[in-house]
Every structure is written in structure tokens, then in C-alpha cells.
């Protein structure tokens, strides 16, 4: 039976403007959008109707970059830069995930917080540990959320307590893909070399082969920090640039998501556009670690697919709404300080990046166009101020800047209402 949800419907088919249907109706069948109407149809036979009243119905948020094991570090050590922060905070925490009991307690809280903040799809880094990565996948499956989850690979330039033997890393990854590739409907594995400095050529090449053999996507980091970019040049003088290192090892394609992209050259940006690579913009993390500001406008102008990432724990907020507002702020500072030809992001553009832009990584996700998955949030914004005299776009804008999980009343993934994950 088809379902009709009545309310104020907002989504971004295109970045430059909101599609707005005041007191509109979204018709959903088998978890997918059939159409959005201005009012209920005359013939309502076979239609179940839910009236959300004076509330906003928007696509669920999509987070393209999140480190589940770093969740306990939220808000810690953010007065450091990337490389010391990794040494002092990230690696010691990630070592703890050989302990399954610890992993279960953290990952359950991660799923709950992601649910709470209105993220309906997320691309997750796990740790190097195969068993806790499988546990993370099962917890997200149980929660009903959509996710790609990656077992991290690293076989150089990291502490003894985390470094993998190259052969063992490849074999563990193969076994993990074998056991999880078709296990869950909404939670899938993806290949996850941490980043070039921690992965040998041999490992990266083998991971590229596994991605192809098992037909799974790839996630990693790129050009987050200037010291890191210099380091990659020293490690791989044979490749033209950082992006080419991934390409040369078979890791770059239209299902690769690269987090950060702060310092890429024009040639790299053109290559990402040509190959259909996704860029995950993580401004909260880039501010915290004093990395820099990704020139998002340049990527959009070049035709690169861009989404948003919280980058927990370098990012201190689990909410993609918070990343949307920081993305706008970051683009304004970049415009002010470095390039007046790169116009700052508008609200509809930031919203697009955090819904349809990142959603494309999951297929038809992040919009309310026909055929899209019904991933949605129902928002009651009355706590945030008077609604009389405010346009629906202003009401959504206000929620993105000053709202939080208290204002999200219902969450859907592929048409299913998702309740709070049990602890
Ligand atoms: Zn990251």
C-alpha cells in the first residue's frame, strides 16, 4: 500500500535552489518516492495517510566520512595539528578495538548518536581489526541505518601496536569481504587504506585488486595537511601527484571517496572530475586541526561530486547540519582571504552537499525525486522561534544553524521508520 506523508516538503534537486511544497504530500511506495504533490490526490483508495502538520519533511542527512573508533575522543586534543594528533590521540584509541567488549560499547553509542543527529546514511572507517569491523556492521544493520563500513589497512609509518603485516592485512581484508559482502541489505563493506603514508605500494595495489574483484567501493584520505602532502611527495616520487598515487595503485574511480581535498592542484581536481571521484568536505575537522579550507567552489565548478563529512573525531560534531553551517562559514573565509572569484556557498548548496551530493554515493539517495529512496527527517522547529512570517526556507535555515536532535521527531530509511537503537 502506498503511503502519503503530508507536511512542508523541502529538498534540493539542484544545488542552487530548494524545491518547496508548503502543505505538500510525498507519496512513497515500497520505500521509494513515487511523486511529490501539492495536495492529497482526489482518489485516495489504497493510500495510507500520515499528516505531519506544521512540520518540515526533508531528506535524511548523509555523512561521507566518520571514524567510528574515534568517537570516545570527541572534543579531545583539537589544539594540535594532524600528525601529532594522530600519534597522541587517534592511534592509541584505535588500538583498543581488539577488545570486542569495548568495541561493542562504543559502536552502540556511535549508532545511537548518528541516529539521533538525523544521519540516515554514513561512510564509516573502523579500525584495523577485522572482528570489531564485523561487529560495527552488525550494529548498524540492527539499527536500520544505511552504511558503508571499512576495515582500515596500514602496514607502515604507524605504531607497532597497530601496524599490520602486509600479507596478513590483505588476507584479513579478503576474508572480511567474503563474509560481509552480501550479508546485510543496507550495510556494505568498502576498501579502506588509511592514507598513502601508512600503506606500502604492495598493500595499495592488492587493495585495488580486491576492490575490483569484489566490486566494492573505496574510501581514503587525501591532501588534508601540508606536511602530509610533502611527505607523500617524498614517499612516491614516481607518481605525478597525491591523486595519481591512488590512481597508480588501482584505487581511484567513480566509487572512490576522498576525504578533505584541501590542497589539491588543478590537475588533480580535473582528474577527480573526469573519473567521477567523490570528495568529502570536512570543514569542522579542517578547522580543528588547522589544516586549511577546501576550495569547494573550485571542485563544484570543475564538476567533481562533493558531499559532506563530520570526520569524527577530528570533527567534534556528529551532526551534518552543523557541518553544513561550518561549510558555509569556511567558504566565506576562503572567499574573503584567498580568492574573491570563488563565491561562498549558499544554504541550498550546503544542504545539497549534505543530502543529494553525498547521497549519490549510495545510489538514488538524498532527494525526493521519483525513484529515490525515502530517507527522510520530520522536523518540528517550533522550539527555535516564531514560525509566523517566516518562509519555509528560513525555517529550515534556522534549524540547520541553531536546531539539534531535539527538533527531529521522526527518521526514515528506505521508507522504514527508524527508532532509537537500543543500548
Ligand atoms: Zn578521517
> 65 CA distance to ligand 1 centroid (A)?
6
Place of cell 602486509: 166
Q: What is the DSSP string of 396-408?
A: HHHHHHH--GGGE
> 198 CA distance to ligand 1 centroid (A)?
13
Q: Name the fold adopted by 2-59+367-417.
A: Urease, subunit C; domain 1 (2.30.40)
Looking at residue 109, what is its pLDDT?
Answer: 98
Work out the pLDDT band at 33, boundaries 50, 70, 90.
very high
> 169 CA distance to ligand 1 centroid (A)?
20
> 124 CA distance to ligand 1 centroid (A)?
9
Looking at residue 1, what is its pLDDT?
Answer: 86
Q: Can 2-59+367-417 and 61-362 be said to share one CATH topology?
A: no
> 407 CA distance to ligand 1 centroid (A)?
28
> 221 CA distance to ligand 1 centroid (A)?
6
> 102 CA distance to ligand 1 centroid (A)?
21
Looking at residue 406, what is its pLDDT?
Answer: 98
Looking at residue 82, what is its pLDDT?
Answer: 83
> 186 CA distance to ligand 1 centroid (A)?
22
Domain borders along the chain are 2-59+367-417, 61-362
CA 182 to chain centre: 21
Looking at residue 68, what is its pLDDT?
Answer: 98
Looking at residue 83, what is its pLDDT?
Answer: 83
Q: 256-260 and 187-189 as β-strands: parallel, antiparallel, unpaired?
A: unpaired
Is residue 18's pLDDT more than 80? yes
What is the pLDDT averaged over residues 304-317? 96
41 compared with 7, residue with greater pLDDT:
7
What is the pLDDT averaged over residues 206-221? 98
Encode burial over 78-116: b for 16+ CB neighbours within 10 A, e otherwise.
Answer: bebbbeebbeebbbebbbebeeeeebeebbbbbbbbbbb
> 135 CA distance to ligand 1 centroid (A)?
20
Looking at residue 197, what is its pLDDT?
Answer: 97
Is residue 423's pLDDT more than 80? no
Looking at residue 84, what is its pLDDT?
Answer: 87
Other CB atoms closer than 10 Å to residue 320's CB: what's the count?
Answer: 31
Q: What's the rounded Cα separation, in Å, for the pair 269 and 274?
A: 9
Work out the pLDDT band at 195, boundaries 50, 70, 90.
very high
Residue 403: left if φ>0, alpha if ψ -120 to 50, beta else—which one? beta
What is the pLDDT averaged over residues 222-231? 95
Q: What's the rounded Cα separation, in Å, for the pair 376 and 188?
A: 21
What is the pLDDT averaged over residues 22-38? 97
Q: What is the pLDDT of residues 129-185, one digit of tens each?
A: 999 999 999 999 999 999 999 999 999 999 999 999 999 999 999 999 999 999 999
Q: What is the DSSP string of 361-390?
A: GGSS-SS-STT-B--EEEE--GGGS--TT-
Looking at residue 137, what is its pLDDT?
Answer: 98
> 224 CA distance to ligand 1 centroid (A)?
9
> 259 CA distance to ligand 1 centroid (A)?
7
Looking at residue 315, what is its pLDDT?
Answer: 94
What is the pLDDT averaged over residues 339-364? 97
> 311 CA distance to ligand 1 centroid (A)?
5
Q: What is the pLDDT of residues 251-288, one digit of tens each?
A: 999 999 999 999 999 999 999 999 999 999 999 999 99
Looking at residue 319, what is its pLDDT?
Answer: 98
Work out the pLDDT band at 81, boundaries 50, 70, 90.
confident
> 53 CA distance to ligand 1 centroid (A)?
39
> 223 CA distance to ligand 1 centroid (A)?
11
Is residue 240's pLDDT more than 90? yes
CATH 3.20.20.140 for the 61-362 domain, yes or no = yes
> 260 CA distance to ligand 1 centroid (A)?
8
pLDDT mean across residues, the chain: 97
Q: What is the pLDDT of residues 46-75, one digit of tens each?
A: 899 999 999 999 999 999 999 999 999 999
Beta strands in 277-379 (DSSP E): 278-281, 305-308, 376-379
Is residue 188's pLDDT more than 90? yes
Q: Does residue 303 contact residue 272 with C-beta atoms inside 8 Å?
A: no
Looking at residue 191, what is its pLDDT?
Answer: 98
Is residue 79's pLDDT more than 80? yes
Amino acid at each position: 500500500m502506498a503511503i502519503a506523508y503530508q507536511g512542508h516538503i523541502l529538498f534540493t534537486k539542484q544545488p542552487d535552489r530548494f524545491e518547496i511544497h508548503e502543505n505538500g504530500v510525498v507519496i512513497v511506495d515500497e520505500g521509494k518516492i513515487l511523486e511529490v504533490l501539492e495536495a492529497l490526490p482526489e482518489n485516495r483508495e489504497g493510500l495510507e495517510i500520515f499528516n505531519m502538520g506544521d512540520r518540515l519533511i526533508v531528506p535524511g542527512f548523509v555523512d561521507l566520512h566518520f571514524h567510528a573508533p574515534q568517537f570516545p575522543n570527541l572534543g579531545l586534543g583539537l589544539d594540535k595539528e594532524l600528525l601529532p594528533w594522530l600519534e597522541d590521540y587517534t592511534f592509541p584509541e584505535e588500538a583498543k578495538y581488539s577488545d570486542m567488549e569495548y568495541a561493542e560499547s562504543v559502536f552502540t553509542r556511535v549508532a545511537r548518536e548518528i541516529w539521533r543527529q538525523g544521519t540516515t546514511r554514513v561512510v564509516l572507517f573502523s579500525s584495523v581489526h577485522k572482528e570489531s569491523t564485523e561487529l560495527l556492521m552488525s550494529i548498524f544493520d540492527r539499527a536500520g541505518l544505511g552504511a558503508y563500513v571499512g576495515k582500515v589497512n596500514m602496514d607502515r609509518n604507524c605504531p607497532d601496536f597497530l601496524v599490520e603485516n602486509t600479507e596478513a592485512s590483505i588476507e584479513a581484508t579478503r576474508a572480511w569481504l567474503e563474509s560481509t559482502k552480501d550479508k546485510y541489505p543496507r550495510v556494505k563493506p568498502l576498501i579502506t587504506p588509511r592514507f598513502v603514508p601508512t600503506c606500502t605500494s604492495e598493500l595499495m595495489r592488492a587493495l585495488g585488486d580486491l576492490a575490483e574483484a569484489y566490486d566494492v567501493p573505496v574510501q581514503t584520505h587525501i591532501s588534508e595537511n601540508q606536511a602530509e602532502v610533502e611527505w607523500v611527495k617524498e614517499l612516491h616520487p614516481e607518481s605525478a601527484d597525491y591523486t595519481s598515487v591512488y590512481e597508480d595503485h588501482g584505487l581511484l574511480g567513480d566509487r572512490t571517496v576522498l576525504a578533505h581535498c584541501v590542497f589539491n592542484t588543478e590537475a588533480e581536481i580535473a582528474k577527480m572530475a573526469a573519473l567521477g571521484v567523490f570528495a568529502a568536505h570536512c570543514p569542522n575537522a579542517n578547522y580543528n586541526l588547522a589544516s586549511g579550507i577546501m576550495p569547494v567552489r573550485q571542485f563544484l565548478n570543475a564538476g567533481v561530486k562533493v558531499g559532506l563529512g563530520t570526520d569524527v573525531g577530528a570533527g567534534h560534531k556528529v551532526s551534518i547540519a552543523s557541518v553544513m553551517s561550518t561549510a558555509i562559514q569556511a567558504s566565506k573565509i576562503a572567499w574573503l582571504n584567498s580568492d574573491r572569484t570563488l563565491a561562498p556557498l549558499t544554504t541550498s548548496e550546503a544542504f545539497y552537499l549534505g543530502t543529494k551530493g553525498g547521497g549519490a554515493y549510495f545510489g538514488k539517495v538524498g532527494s525526493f525525486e521519483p525513484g529515490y529512496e525515502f530517507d527522510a527527517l520530520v522536523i518540528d522547529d517550533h522550539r527555535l522561534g516564531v514560525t509566523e512570517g517566516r518562509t519555509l526556507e528560513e525555517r529550515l535555515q534556522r534549524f540547520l544553524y541553531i536546531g539539534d536532535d531535539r527538533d527531529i521527531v521522526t527518521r526514515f530509511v528506505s521508507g522504514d521508520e527508524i527508532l532509537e537503537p537500543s543500548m
